[in-house]
Structure 1
Amino acid sequence: MKAGIEECLRQSPMFSELSPPQLGRLVAIAQLQIWQRQQIIFRKGDAAAGFFVVKTGRVKVFNLSAAGKEQILNIFEPGDSFAEVVAFDNQPYPASAEAIEYVELIFLPRFAFLNLLHQDADLSVRLLASFAKHLRHLVSLIEDLSFRQVPQRLAAYLLQRLATSDRPDSITLDLKKTELAALLGTIPATLSRAFYDLNTQGILRVEGNEITICDRQRLQRLSEE
């Protein structure tokens, strides 16, 4: 089990350049957790005991409005770390986290990790770099929600997915419509309308969960509006 944890941490951008002794100290405090699809890992306001690195599966971090509307703040995949803010303060979790599918997480307890930070400045620098990455993502999310309409947000999302696809012009949507709508800050009906409009305009073709990009240049221009 510890070997699997070590391999995952070594491949995580946050810890990939640690020396073997540094990595060994991290592995010594790490715990493997298994969560099933749609299980809540923590809720906003829960006492924060530590943070996580995704080993397998995907996790969504989100907030709910008073009316129950969900806004997904980020989706984390293998190698990603999340909830690191609790390593520095003693405040509750500022958002909720849920397993999108079967998930294996590496849990790093707060107090044990803080002890390592006091001993190793490299870890502190890496944690700050992770904070900066998450902050940039949140700033980008705020800009999108403030200044872009749903079609523009959808276009930007599809281009982002296309950049990591192993097919030049096709994407398989692996989120439910409700989850994708929450990620883009809208509701499923509005998202469906955006897909319909882009399909009608000949920019893309939708067949179930398969999206074929028919006019990448127009999609790019739309994303930049």
Structure 2
Amino acid sequence: MDKTQAVAGIGLFAGLGPKELAALAGIAEVRSYAKGQDIFFAGDKALGFFSVASGKVRIYQTSLAGKEHILHVFGPGEVFAEVAVFSGGVYPASAQALEDGDYLFFPRERFRRLLAEDPDLAMNMLGLLAVRLRQLVKKIEDLSLREVPARLAAHLLLLAAQSRKRVLSLDLPKGQLAAYLGTIPETLSRVLRRFSDEGIISLSGNGVEILDAARLERQAGGGGGGGGGGGAGVGAGVGGGGMPPAAGRG
């Protein structure tokens, strides 16, 4: 892996010059994890933070009853466990690789020294923390106000905006996706079938094709109608601007 090129692709470091990027690449450690491999557990000593170079990672917490709740899913160019930079202590949640992938690890103390020398990097870090706070507030709002159909619709629109495609591969197995959306697999399957029956999406194995983005956006924006179940939100708001144009269906 070209560490300098990988560092340049990290959103947190946008706007930094070649000298700063080279310094960051100099402290970064390349780590590889297989699908299903644990990266760290909640309560482990927080020695630094990570960026995804390839693959995907889920961040989750486990209740006393053993139930997992997925907080975030991150992909290439995104960072996680950044709270360790400021707080030290322990990781507040666990991380597990969803795919085989490579990661960059930034040791806390070495990164803090770079922060002290570079105001632009420090401002980027503060901006990231502000984004994380907004995401948590959004999750709480979704937990209180949105039904399962609205959460699922927003999640599908987010995947479409990120991939610039209408034919999507679900980023989590259905059981984990249900937990992420704050519902149970049976309810998730029922809502997917309803969307399919109504001509909003088309289902094929683990794939979903968005057939009617406008109706999906209305589902995401409203209460979603009887889907039942409480739960967490999808993390970030979405709009119509990220959707690619519809392909001809013949």
TM-score when scaled to structure 2?
0.83
Query: Is the deviation greater in 210-219 or in 139-148?
Result: 210-219
1:148 maps to which of 142, 146, 149: 146
Q: Does 1:196 align with 2:193?
A: yes
Distance 2:61 2:142 in 1: 17
Aligned partner of 1:209 in structure 2 is: 206
Runs of 4+ in structure 1 displaced over 4 angstroms? none
1:177 maps to which of 164, 167, 174: 174
Structure 1 residue 166 displacement after superposition = 4.2
SS at 2:12 equivalent: coil
TM-score when scaled to structure 1?
0.92
CA contact (8 A) 1:174 1:209 kept: no
Structure 1 residue 207 displacement after superposition = 1.8
Distance 1:57 1:75 in 2: 11
Distance 2:92 2:156 in 1: 28
1:62 maps to which of 57, 60, 63: 60
CA contact (8 A) 1:9 1:16 kept: no
Distance 1:217 1:26 in 2: 42
Query: Can you list the C-alpha shifts for 1:138-191, whole angstroms capped at 9, x where unaligned?
Result: 222221122111111001111222223444x43222421112112212221111
Structure 1 residue 99 displacement after superposition = 0.3
Distance 2:102 2:206 in 1: 25
The 5 A counterparts of 1:1-225 are 1=1, 4-167=2-165, 169-225=166-222
CA contact (8 A) 1:10 1:17 kept: no
CA contact (8 A) 1:59 1:97 kept: yes
SS at 1:129 equivalent: helix
Distance 2:211 2:160 in 1: 12
CA contact (8 A) 1:61 1:97 kept: yes
Query: Is the deviation greater in 71-80 or in 180-189?
Result: 180-189
Structure 1 residue 116 displacement after superposition = 1.5
Structure 1 residue 123 displacement after superposition = 1.7
Distance 1:155 1:176 in 2: 17
Count of paired positions: 222
Structure 1 residue 214 displacement after superposition = 3.1
Counting aligned pairs with the same residue, the percent is 44
SS at 1:56 equivalent: coil
> Structure 1 165/11 Cα, relative in aligned 2: closer, same or farther at 3 Å?
closer
Question: Structure 2 stretches of 5 or more lacking a match?
Answer: 223-250
Structure 1 residue 114 displacement after superposition = 1.2
